[in-house]
Amino acid sequence: MKDNISKKINSSLKWSSITEIIAKLIQPITNMILARILVPEAFGVVATVNMIISFADMFTDAGFQKYIVQQEFKDESDREISTNVAFWTNLSISLILWVFIIIFSEEISTMVGNPGLGIVISVACMQLPLTSFSSIQMAIYRRNFDFRTLFFVRIISICIPFIVTIPLALFGYSYWSLIVGSICGTLSNAIILTLKSVWRPKLEYSLTVLKEMLSFSLWSLLEAISIWLTTWIDTFIIGSALSSYYLGIYKTSLSTVNSIFMIVTGATTPILFSALCRVQNDDKEFKNVLFSMQKNVSYLVLPMSVGIFVFSDLVVKILLGNNWGDANYIIGLWGITQGITIVLSHYSSEVYRAKGKPRLSFIAQVIFLLVLIPVCYIYSKYEFKTFVTVRGLVRLVFILIHFVLMKYIIGISIKEMTSTIKLPIVASVVMGCIGYLLSLISKNILWQIISILICIISYFIILMCFKSSRYDILNIINKFGIVEKAKNIKILKVDKMIIKDE
């Protein structure tokens, strides 16, 4: 049983990692092309549309996807009825929301600072019912660690821009090219997952089951709303106070940095959540799985964040082009804070949900919002660079909030969370100092690339000087780290349902 689940995690982590690596190799190429065809204002319009879609999408899913992954079902029939209830509820809510958005589209576009874009919002929100077709199938695949299927789905969707978005942009369709490309990507996900899934929705429903699901999902929904506010409140404020140009610069810079780090987080977060759910009642193994993932991620994320901070000019030149000079500072600041946030607080929400306490994540988000909203509002009246600086630094408050909740409610101390990442912190800081000194020599692109290679070599030389980090690096290279650790800690008491599905 233990060997089976270890193989599942190993296989899932590999497929998920391959997916994110390929995605993050293709997406920068797409962004490089589009950033040179479209002006920042076009990205600003799409940022506003995505803000509305993401808000409506929370209610479409209603937290049911996480419920399907996390719940320990009594038997096959219990899982079947829950899955059907989740599917039909998602679809119904998405259709209702789409109709509502169409009716009030002009009012909504005015409210978010882009009057006259009602038709754009109405068309873009076509993605809501399309997403509902695939979200539950995706949850089933994740529960069963079937990330191989999700790999092929993701690869097809990320190739859509080359077929749809870029040609439309070349023909002068501006923000419409991005919107149509997004719709086509969502449509391809819905079609492929529906066709490949062994599960098919049945015409059965239970209000009793819905009530039970809502008792869990309500907190996930509230958490999703709070996360949406955390993610988009700055966009709303900038869109209202500043022009589409600055909104496009801001959101494109953030999405560029996030897409780089998603290579790691996108590959590890779903698998960590699935693994933690299976050992949620064993505190020792729960901690070991969490700390193993956190440590291995820090070896990759911390040097990435320092590198982006030091070489932000090069990142902008390569990924966005010469017309995005105002993005340099944003990308550098967001890069360094993103790495710290991922290592010290990103996985805390997965811990809360895996323990069946999603309300903790909601509480953390609300406390953070009490700080974030007034800060964003006050500093939106200052110059753009000042706003960006404060917005980036205030993220560190979120780490302190999670530290408190993890220690006093989950029982995981700050010392436990930080003791395993001391070496990657030291190596990253030394690497950053070397990179900064090298950057003073010349701003030539070729020299900066050489400097990055020197920094990478220096980072690994420092790590190889220590036995423990040398062992960890070899683990990451050979088996993505967490699996080898899992074998040593007698990991994962797997429920019979997972084994049966295999």
Residue-wise pLDDT for 17-39, tens only, equals 566 566 666 766 777 788 778 87
Give the model's pLDDT for residue 279: 73
**Tokens 């998405």, residue located:** 94
| pLDDT at position 406 over 80 | yes
The pTM score is 0.68
- CA atoms of 404 and 389, how far apart (whole Å): 25
- Measured from the Cβ of residue 182, the count of other Cβ atoms closer than 10 Å reads 22
Check if the beta carbon of residue 135 is closer than 8 Å to that of residue 67. Answer: no
Check if the beta carbon of residue 191 is closer than 8 Å to that of residue 131. Answer: no
Provide the pLDDT confidence category of residue 484 given band limits of 50, 70 and 90.
very low
| pLDDT at position 429 over 90 | yes
Check if the beta carbon of residue 103 is closer than 8 Å to that of residue 119. Answer: no
Average pLDDT, the chain: 79
3 vs 271, residue with greater confidence: 271
Name 442's Cβ contacts closer than 8 Å, sequence gap at least 6. 448
Name 195's Cβ contacts closer than 8 Å, sequence gap at least 6. none
pLDDT tens digits for range 44-56: 778 778 888 877 7
The segment with the largest mean pLDDT, out of 288-292, 448-452, 469-473, 498-502, is: 448-452
- Hey, what amino acid is at 169? A
Provide the pLDDT confidence category of residue 500 given band limits of 50, 70 and 90.
very low
In angstroms, how far apart are the furthest CA atoms of the chain? Answer: 69
Provide the pLDDT confidence category of residue 413 given band limits of 50, 70 and 90.
confident
Check if the beta carbon of residue 141 is closer than 8 Å to that of residue 147. Answer: yes
pLDDT tens digits for range 297-354: 888 899 999 999 999 989 888 888 777 878 889 999 999 999 999 988 888 888 887 8
Helix axes 174-196, 40-61, angle to 10 degrees: 30
DSSP 59-101: HHHTTHHHHHHH---SSHHHHHHHHHHHHHHHHHHHHHHHHHH
| pLDDT at position 498 over 60 | no
3-state secondary structure 31-43: HHHHHHHCCHHHH
Give the model's pLDDT for residue 282: 74
Least Cα distance to 42 among 26, 31, 53 occurs for 31
| pLDDT at position 489 over 50 | no
pLDDT above 90 as % of the chain:
16
Which two structure tokens, joined as six digits, stand for 496?
A: 């019979």
Which two structure tokens, joined as six digits, stand for 376?
A: 């964003």
- CA atoms of 427 and 465, how far apart (whole Å): 10
Q: Taking residues 236-262, report their average pLDDT.
A: 81
Q: Please tell me the least confidently modeled range out of 22-36, 183-197, 216-230, 441-455.
A: 22-36
- CA atoms of 330 and 333, how far apart (whole Å): 5
Which two structure tokens, joined as six digits, stand for 277?
A: 């759910």
